[in-house]
Chain A
Amino acid sequence: MELVNIFVKSIFVENMIFAYFLGMCSYLAVSKKVKTALGLGTAVIFVLGFTVPINYILENYLLKEGALKWLSPEFASVDLSFLSFLMFIAVVAAFVQLVEMAVEKFSPSLYASLGIFLPLIAVNCSILGGALFMQQRDYPSLAHATVFGLGSGVGWMLAIVFIAAIREKIRYSHIPAPLRGLGIAFILTGLMGIAFMSFMGIKL
């Protein structure tokens, strides 16, 4: 039940795009076609679904105050949390690199559709954001963290697919010239965000 709650919440209520604006750069740059948006969205779900739990393990068995207790009781007071940013971003970059290499070697067809987005993802704020929110919210178990990572990814994909669909349509609309492209994309995202806010009333 709690897991469902976290999942729904991270997709709709605390949507990475609409509530926190994370991953906006690639969101705006790669949202001109639905197909590419779908590819990037899938890649984000995949990477978030793996890096959040990996970082969760790191956080709880290496970085947090007292996290090193399993090595030896002497380390109980060691607090490495100041290194967490560095560790998280290193994990994300390394994971993305590894996946890219693996996908390229074992599944060229998947690489053609998904691989080109992977390098974009290493600097996608929503990935690091996922890790940082996980740290801040201090989830009680690995399962919670994984569900949170997947949910955030799904939320992000929904957002980018929606905006891409809208942008495909409005190309035929008469938009004031200065607002064309970027400007209208911002305003649309804002309006979609307001619509998503109605999910806040969800009761589980």
Chain B
Amino acid sequence: MNRESNAFIIFFSTVMVVVVGISLALIAQVTKPNFIKNQRLEKMQNILSSVNIQVSPSEAETAYKKYITGSVVYKMDGTLVEGVDAFEQVDLAKELKKTEDQQYFPLYECVKEDGKYFIIPMRGKGLWDAIWGYVAIKDDAVTIAGAVFDHKGETPGLGAEIAKAPFQEQFPNKKIVDASGTFTGIEVAKAGKHPAGYDHGVDGISGGTITSNGVNDMLMKYLKSFRNYIEKNNVLQPVTQEPKVEELSDDILSSDSTTVIAE
């Protein structure tokens, strides 16, 4: 056949598209479960790291099941949202696109050898792009146990310092409520504004003002909604919701892959 004829070109293109389409779809199907699993493990790792549990991806699943004992979802004013799973169904990046009163706020509960913690995932805007973090609060729902932050594209050496230890190490033992029970949050302010030993604020990054303000706004919003939830639902006792991780992992198991989760 003349390979420069229109008929052949059309035939050739069709065959090419079909072959490429089928093979790519096949490979995408085969690799997808692993990809999803990687994303889940990463999220688990991040949650655990806020309570200072550092695990490798392969241990994340077991550690997550061991330490994270429950999760809830609530709204800004603290109203509980039923039937939504914090881990599987709430993606903060997507929540931020809704108006504030429509947004869902997830919360995890963690039991470690030395006590019980609440873990608040949060996300906001820095100077250039998204910033996010996890803040762990002790079971008095007032004292911060630890905080980790990360960012997508803040300026190295300035805003990007929020992801480094010197900034994050200021957080443990700060309090988000003052002695009279009023919400204070954690104010991120210029170094020197707060007196030494001030309980409700940390020093921002000098030169990274907009990023620091972003962290401040993010902290205020998520900590406030956390307090609203605590007060509205009288949760001085532990959250009593079964973790849903197990049943969901069963779903994935039954879908098509046997390698997803080693039980």
Residues in chain A within 8 A of chain B (CB atoms):
9, 13-14, 82-83, 86, 137-138, 140, 200-201, 203
Contacts and interface: CB of A to CB of B under 8 A. Distances in A.
Contacts of A200: 155, 158
Contacts of A14: 153
> Which of A86, A137, A200 has the largest count of B CB atoms less than 10 A from its CB?
A200
B20 to A, nearest CB: 8
Nearest to A5: B128
A181 to B, nearest CB: 32
7 contacts: A14-B153, A82-B24, A82-B25, A83-B24, A86-B24, A201-B158, A203-B210
A82 B28 contact: yes
B141 to A, nearest CB: 34
Given A140-B97, A200-B155, A13 B128 contact: yes
B103 to A, nearest CB: 15
Interface residues of B, number: 16
> Which of A13, A82, A86, A138 has the largest count of B CB atoms less than 10 A from its CB?
A82
Contacts of B178: none
Interface in B1-50: 20, 24-25, 27-28
B129 interface: yes
Nearest to B93: A138
Contacts, number: 21
Nearest to A85: B24
Contacts of A203: 127, 209-210
Interface string B123-146: 000011100000000000000000
Contacts of A137: 129
A119 B153 CA distance: 33
A9 B24 contact: no
B160 to A, nearest CB: 10
Contact of A9 (B128, B207, B210): B128
Interface of B: 20, 24-25, 27-28, 93, 97, 127-129, 153, 155, 158, 207, 209-210
A203 B208 CA distance: 10
Given A82-B24, A83-B24, A201 B97 contact: no
A13 to B, nearest CB: 7
Contacts of B20: 86
Contacts of A13: 128
Contacts of B28: 82
A140 B97 CA distance: 8
Contacts of B93: 138
Given A82-B27, A138-B93, 8 more contacts: A9-B128, A14-B153, A82-B24, A82-B28, A83-B24, A200-B158, A201-B155, A203-B127
A85 to B, nearest CB: 10
Contacts of B155: 200-201
A195 to B, nearest CB: 16
Question: Nearest 6 CB-CB pairs, A to B?
Answer: A82-B28, A200-B155, A82-B24, A9-B128, A203-B210, A140-B97
Contacts of A140: 97
Nearest to B20: A86
Contacts of B207: 201
A140 B153 CA distance: 17
A9 B154 CA distance: 12
A82 B209 CA distance: 39
A137 B93 CA distance: 11
Nearest to A13: B128
Contacts of B129: 137
Contacts of A83: 24
Nearest to B97: A140
A178 B25 CA distance: 49
Nearest to B127: A203
